[in-house]
Structure 1
Amino acid sequence: MIPFPRTRNAALVGAVCTGLAAVLVGCGGAAEDPDAGTNGVGKLSAAKIESKSRKAVDGAEAVRLSGSLVTKGRTYKLDMRLKGGPKGGGTGQLSTKGSTFELLRVGDELYLKADADFWASQKGGEPSRSDSAAASKLDDKYVKVPSGDSAYKQLSGFTDMDLLLEGLLGLHGKRATGDRGTVGGVRTIRITGGEGAGGSLDVSLEGTPYPLRLQRAGGAGVLQLADWNKEFLLKAPDKDHIVDYGRQITTS
């Protein structure tokens, strides 16, 4: 066997070591900064993340809220687009106890749209022929909910962005930071209350630190928050599509 010259051996070993070092660095030898390219809130304490998220919500003008919500023993499924402020309102769909209907609020005016079966069931019991005939005239029409009706306060709450978010977004118990993840393709950091028993909030690590997902305490629902500040059309229906109901409205 003919030995290589010492100088050639040294050069070969050096080249191999240099290449190996490059491979090791490329495979994670150097730690990647998890906050690179983010808005920086991931470096903050849970309390400060929550504070910044709240501030972002207070400054927002619109949001889309979807998911499930449990309140007063009743489960609602909702998909609402909301605008804040005194001239705000909302539009979208709400379901509970087998009933599905649409809500629309423009300013103080609240409208409800549902199919004939929904209206026929409002009297309670098995609907008569006259009930069914009257309900058919309301099918897929907007019915204005009187402001004095007991349903007005209950239903309008689902269209009030400021009131709804104020009541929903609070966590309970000691705050802590949780896992990083994604919601709708957006990187997030989770903050929890009471080790998760007090609810959790996934806050965006990209752009404005809006809350993107809420899990309420006690299994009281999971909600997605999207389309922050995204403009959408909100106007009262045409008069030809509005019908006066003239009876008390319920959602039982």
Structure 2
Amino acid sequence: MTAIPQGRTRRTAWVAATCALAVTGTVALTGCGGDDPDAGTNGVGKLPADKIQAKTRAAADAAPAVRLSGTVVTSGTTYTLDMRLKADGGTGSVTSKGGTFRLLRVGKQLFLKADADFWSQGQDSSAGGKLDGKYVKVPQGDPAYKKFSGFTDKDVLLSGLLTLHGKLATDGHHSQSGVRTIRVTGDNGSGGTLDVSLEGKPYPLRLVRAGSAGTLSFSDWSKNFPLTEPPKSDTVDYGQQLPTS
């Protein structure tokens, strides 16, 4: 019997071990025993990058709800978001410049809930105590409405975020929170990267925006959640102009 070189034995054992990990979903690998990395998936991993992006945008647009968390950098300001969104509104928290506030939009009505320090930054410093911990109605004509309502609008937010810049290409099979993904890049990553689910519908799961403009994770696709206006006892209608913008 011909002896098997020890190096080959070690190499065979290593391949077997890593392929076993891939099967359990711990890592995502290709080339394990010649297996098709797209076997048992939704098939989008075999498509060209532009087709993958089109399918993931269509899936995201059609989903009734989503949870979005991570950072967005816009106009030089970094916002940390944890928002749940659906067609008729959204709710969640936003952190910026060391302060955190909550947003709630039901239909066209937007509410902003923050502590006294947030409100005391406005022109009317005495308002802080009155509005501390209250849901404040944001008039549609107030600058704050335009500034913050986009964070609660699924269509507006996703259409602005799910865009890769430059030439599209695929960048292999990966995994996000145990879900197999195919990665799409713009200009080899400088134009952003998007991980698309290979399991179930091709939802976007993780986005790295171009120009260091933030990183976002998407979860709870199509998972419904309650969205109602806060009790009147917790609501303040400040009128036509908020004390801060």
Q: CA deviation at 1:179?
A: 2.8
Q: CA deviation at 1:153?
A: 1.1
The yes-or-no answer on 1:77 pairing with 2:77 is no
Letter in 1 for 2:94: L
Q: 1:9-158, aligned counterparts within 5 Å?
A: 27=16, 30-84=33-87, 88-123=88-123, 127=125, 131=126, 134-158=127-151
Distance (Å, rounded) in 2 between the aligned partners of 1:179 and 1:100: 37
CA offsets, 1:150-188, max 9 Å, x none? 111111011000011011111111110003211122111
Distance (Å, rounded) in 2 between the aligned partners of 1:188 and 1:122: 45
Distance (Å, rounded) in 2 between the aligned partners of 1:209 and 1:249: 44
Q: What SS does the corresponding residue of 1:123 show, helix, strand or coil?
A: coil
Tell me which structure has the larger Cα radius of gyration: 1
Distance (Å, rounded) in 1 between the aligned partners of 2:214 and 2:33: 41
Q: CA deviation at 1:249?
A: 4.7
Q: What SS does the corresponding residue of 1:122 show, helix, strand or coil?
A: coil
Q: Which runs of 5+ in 2 are unaligned?
A: 5-11, 20-31
Identity %: 60
What TM-score, normalized to structure 2? 0.85
Letter in 2 for 1:70: V
Q: What SS does the corresponding residue of 1:137 show, helix, strand or coil?
A: helix
CA offsets, 1:82-115, max 9 Å, x none? 002xxx1000001111221000000000000011
Q: How many residues align?
A: 225
What TM-score, normalized to structure 1? 0.82
Q: Which runs of 5+ in 1 are unaligned?
A: 1-12, 18-23
Structure 1 residue ranges, 4+ long, deviating more than 2 angstroms after superposition: 24-30, 244-251
Counterpart of 1:234 in structure 2 is 227
CA offsets, 1:24-61, max 9 Å, x none? 69947832221122111111111111111111112111
Distance (Å, rounded) in 2 between the aligned partners of 1:101 and 1:167: 22
Q: What SS does the corresponding residue of 2:54 show, helix, strand or coil?
A: helix
Per mean C-alpha deviation after superposition, the further-off stretch among 26-35 and 45-54 is 26-35
Q: Is the 8 A contact 1:173 1:194 kept in 2?
A: yes
Distance (Å, rounded) in 2 between the aligned partners of 1:137 and 1:184: 43
CA offsets, 1:103-145, max 9 Å, x none? 0000000000011111112228xx5xxx2xx422211110000
Distance (Å, rounded) in 2 between the aligned partners of 1:249 and 1:80: 25
Counterpart of 2:26 in structure 1 is none
